[in-house]
Amino acid sequence: MAKVKSAYFCQECGHESPKWAGKCPSCGQWNTFVEEVITKEQSSSGYQSSSKRANKPVAIQEVESTSEARIKVADRELSRVLGGGIVPGSLVLIGGEPGIGKSTLMLQIALQLSNLKVLYVSGEESAQQIKMRADRMEHDSKNCFILTETHTADIFREVEALGPDLLVIDSIQTLHSPKIESAAGSVGQVKECTAELMRFAKENKIPVFLIGHITKDGAIAGPKVLEHMVDAVLQFEGDRHLTYRILRTTKNRFGSTNELGIYEMMQNGLRQVSNPSEILISQKDKNSSGTAIGATLEGNRPLLIEIQALVSPATYGTPQRSATGYDNKRLNMLLAVLEKRGGFRLGIQDVFLNIAGGVRVEDPAIDLAVCVAIISSLEEIPLSSKTCVAAEVGLSGEIRAVNRIENRIAEAEKLGFTEILVSKFSMKGVDTSRYSIEIKTFSQLSEVVSYLFG
């Protein structure tokens, strides 16, 4: 009989303690320790490493450098976020709110990989439920296999018999390893199941996708060490009441962490949005005050987004400052610049700012677009719908250069804009003759205000 012992685990960070404590010494959270029963003796169940010989140290010059070919997927948005395709042997964690479409996304990818054998392991839904969703997607893949199982020993036994090229786990919180006697979803179980899947992925060069739950704070449920163990962490975001979803990466060992993919939730699955600028700019019959178009970058992808501002007299004495999709502190800074350098009386005005489309932007290149939208709402002067802005605003009112201005100009030209306002310091070495769009350069905020509003 195996020796059994119990230990206490922090539900926030996974710190292990031999006795209960009120405050976790690792993350500092209170009342997060939960007792879990674990086995002292290693069980023969679960995934067993095929390597019986211990590895020896090797000089880095003697290690062979091989460029492993990535697995190409039809989903261009996922391929962009992962850095160009799926890396063999990688462990990818996808988190998101309940009902946002994580299972739909992974099932859709499994069905699209018709040339690969994919095993979709579900611990939350029956095979009939998954089949109903697959029928709505109108895919006819013969290489997608469904397994409804939560016991890791049984999963690895079926994996060995089937020999899949890709494994999807939905979700990691439902798995149960025989090496740990605590309940499924506990810190110990999540750590052990992820460790078994990681060993399986690395030794067999088979990519594994894990779907994870998130907490009410938006963080992936389970210990923080879970995010350290995997190769990539993807967040599937969006409002369940809206149709658009954003897939962004917070960790990627094989690519950039600045990329994002955009999808539209439809009746037959998720549709890839190849030109997000068109959905982020609202279609209007006539120009209205308080709106401006800014050119931003998300990774390698240029986006044109609509900034909406509303300025009205403060009714309750204390002016309100509210921003959706934009940093409140940066908004306050730009308001101070407009008041000090531009002479606009904004101290007695309520200011509301919104980034259309539900996206969140941190690129300083939309500073000038924010300022222009605020002035337009304050003065009730609409801007031309064919004018785009891409520049940073400094504290002294100077218009600062932004990176990769050529990508922003090309995107504005592609979408039919006739002029773009940029910093004159951004145009060094840029050949303006190859653009049909008119490029206006400025060095001070006052020059932009005079040009647009007289």
Q: Residue range 170-188: average pLDDT?
A: 84
Most confident of 2-16, 31-45, 227-241, 340-354: 340-354
Alpha carbon distance 222, 173 (integer Å): 8
Give yes or no for a contact between 94 and 206, defined as CB atoms under 8 angstroms apart: no
| Residues sharing a CB contact under 8 Å with residue 68, sequence separation 6 or more, in sequence order | 87, 88
Degrees, nearest 5: CA angle 313-316-318: 80
Q: Which residues of 369-402 are buried (b: 16+ CB within 10 A; e: fewer)?
A: bbbbbbbbbbbeeebebbbbbbbbbeeebbbbbb
The residue type at 156: F
- Is 294 marked as a binding-site residue? no
- Is 98 marked as a binding-site residue? yes
Residue with the larger pLDDT of the pair 315 and 329: 329
Alpha carbon distance 265, 242 (integer Å): 8
**Residue-averaged pLDDT of the chain:** 87
The predicted pLDDT at position 120 comes to 96
Alpha carbon distance 225, 14 (integer Å): 7
Residue 215: pLDDT band with limits 50, 70, 90: confident
- Is 439 marked as a binding-site residue? no
Q: Residue range 434-442: average pLDDT?
A: 93
Residue 121: pLDDT band with limits 50, 70, 90: very high
- Is 222 marked as a binding-site residue? no
Over 60: is that where the pLDDT of 316 sits?
Answer: yes
Alpha carbon distance 188, 346 (integer Å): 54
Residue with the larger pLDDT of the pair 301 and 336: 336
Over 90: is that where the pLDDT of 74 sits?
Answer: no
- Percent of the residues in the chain that have a pLDDT greater than 90, as a whole number: 49
Q: pTM of the predicted model, to two decimals?
A: 0.75
Alpha carbon distance 253, 228 (integer Å): 11
Residue 1: pLDDT band with limits 50, 70, 90: very low
- Is 317 marked as a binding-site residue? no
Q: What is the pLDDT of residues 371-383, one digit of tens each?
A: 999 999 999 999 9
Q: Residue range 202-229: average pLDDT?
A: 82
The predicted pLDDT at position 40 comes to 45
Alpha carbon distance 243, 95 (integer Å): 18
- Is 179 marked as a binding-site residue? no
